[in-house]
Amino acid sequence: MARTVLVGGTVVTVDADRRVLDPGAVAVDGDAIVAVGPREQVLAEHPDADRIDLADHVLLPGLVDSHGHAGHSLTKNLADGAGDDWLDLVKEIYFEATGTPFWRAEGRLAALERLRAGVTTSLSYVGSMPRVDDPRFAAAAATGYREFGLRHVVAVGPPDGLPVDCADPEAGTETTVDLDRAMATTGAVVDDLHGNADGRIQVAVAPSSLVPEMDEAGNATEASVDQLRRVTEFAEREDLAIHAHAYEGEIAAADAADPEVLTERLSLAHCAGIDSEEVALMAENGVAASHGPLTHAYAWDRFPVVEAMEQGVTVAVSTDGSAPDRSFDLLSQGRIAAQLQRAHHGDTSLLPAGRVLEAMTVDAAAALGLGDEVGSLTPGKRADVVAIDRRSAKLGPHLDTGQTVPRLVNYADGGDVSFVMADGAVRLRDGAVVAPEAPTVEAVLDDAAAAAGTALDRVDAADALEPHPDLWGAVRYGE
């Protein structure tokens, strides 16, 4: 007997038949969905269950943000307009000026933002690229996701530019990370976190780059091949997903070095600048892509989103949140991704709304290897459900069920999410957070501000908060 029925409203299942039920209902027992169907039928089958009234709401699967970064919630807009200097500053902060309080405070803020945006499953690197001198940072970064009851993939693995120096000012330690150390810490993080919180906290083996170094001919260097093989072997041994940034040439270089490393286990962020041969390699080998439409990577170079989808590559839309200039509001990214493709190709027929929603739900779950667990409202999957009030000036009036998915994708933002259930527990109700194990919203914000201030002081970069001289009136920064 199901314990709770979420009584819709319109239920957008994104299930195998892409059913949209109006009115529909979702029955939940413990942490699992046990029935999804027409409202009266589900209620008749579960007469004794508790009921949560979500009439006049649209229910959809918890959103899946397949790429983002821990740390970035405390470096948003730092050095605005400074181009690549921004990345240099955050690397200095992340690798030399932070201890566990920073990562814990940041993780709580990031988890809270994602919860409010209806993102119940997410991935974040621990840093701009993984900080792996000590497994405590990954554990601290995951704390908020655990407390707010969300599903989270902690991405750790070798950073670029090995060996990398790290310092923890609070512990008074300095460490140089080489590949052995990076893999050892990754193993410790897996032992420590993978499968925690009833399986909600998972770990992906996540080198910052698929192929960090290539020679002039575009071949992976010996060190990069060695890293790639060790990452792949480790992930296979531990049965983990692999996630990495990849840019032009890296997929071809990985394939040339060792075709065994391109598998369905692998998802790649950005893929900017890749050509049709690399798209074909992804399609042939089941390698998924996480596309961030607002990333600098995409501003610099295209990922052929439409072409990849047409060839059968699983393409997720992700945030790459939340710095230097984008939020964790995944829902808004979908229509931005679609609009950028339409503008590029001069074709407004591209990327129908249903396909866009798939890229933030089922396809994003598949990209992370979580397709059997989340991404659709299907009996047997985890009970991750989001609801949006459709009676608002922006989303109303409700005319016909056939309008629901385009209305949602074209108009709704994370801020419209009013209800979130994650793993069967209600975490947002009438817009208010329900997380007894987590600090209050005020405490999260206060701790975050304190941690950011401390980190900026340590690198003597308080001036990074000042507005750029070209903020007003100029056509471009740095004129």
Interface ranges with Zn ion (CB under 5 A): 320
Answer for the pair 205, 156: CB distance below 8 angstroms, yes or no: yes
Residue placing its CB nearer to Zn ion in the complex, 145 or 298: 298
Closest approach of Cβ 223 to Zn ion, in Å? Answer: 22
Closest approach of Cβ 208 to Zn ion, in Å? Answer: 9
Neighbours of 1 (CB within 10 A): 10
Closest approach of Cβ 374 to Zn ion, in Å? Answer: 21
Residue placing its CB nearer to Zn ion in the complex, 66 or 404: 66
Residue placing its CB nearer to Zn ion in the complex, 248 or 384: 248
Closest approach of Cβ 3 to Zn ion, in Å? Answer: 39
Residue 382 is classified by DSSP as B
Closest approach of Cβ 242 to Zn ion, in Å? Answer: 15
Cα–Cα–Cα angle for 141, 180, 247, rounded to 5 degrees: 70
DSSP per residue, 208-274: SBSS--B-TTSPBPHHHHHHHHHHHHHHHHHT--EEEEEETTHHHHHHHH-GGG-STTEEEEEEET-
Closest approach of Cβ 270 to Zn ion, in Å? Answer: 7
| Pairing of β 425-429 and β 432-433 | antiparallel
Residue placing its CB nearer to Zn ion in the complex, 2 or 246: 246
Closest approach of Cβ 42 to Zn ion, in Å? Answer: 40
- Whole-angstrom CA distances from 375 to 359, 362, 463 are 10, 4, 42
CA-to-CA distance for 377 and 369, rounded, in angstroms? Answer: 17
Residue placing its CB nearer to Zn ion in the complex, 120 or 319: 319
Residue placing its CB nearer to Zn ion in the complex, 320 or 447: 320
Cis peptide before 61 (omega within 30 of 0): no
Residue placing its CB nearer to Zn ion in the complex, 320 or 384: 320
Q: Which residue is nearest to Zn ion (CB)?
A: 320
| Pairing of β 315-317 and β 288-291 | parallel
Residue 463: exposure state from Cβ atoms within 10 A (0-12, 13-18, ≥19):
exposed
The helix/strand/coil state of 17 is: coil
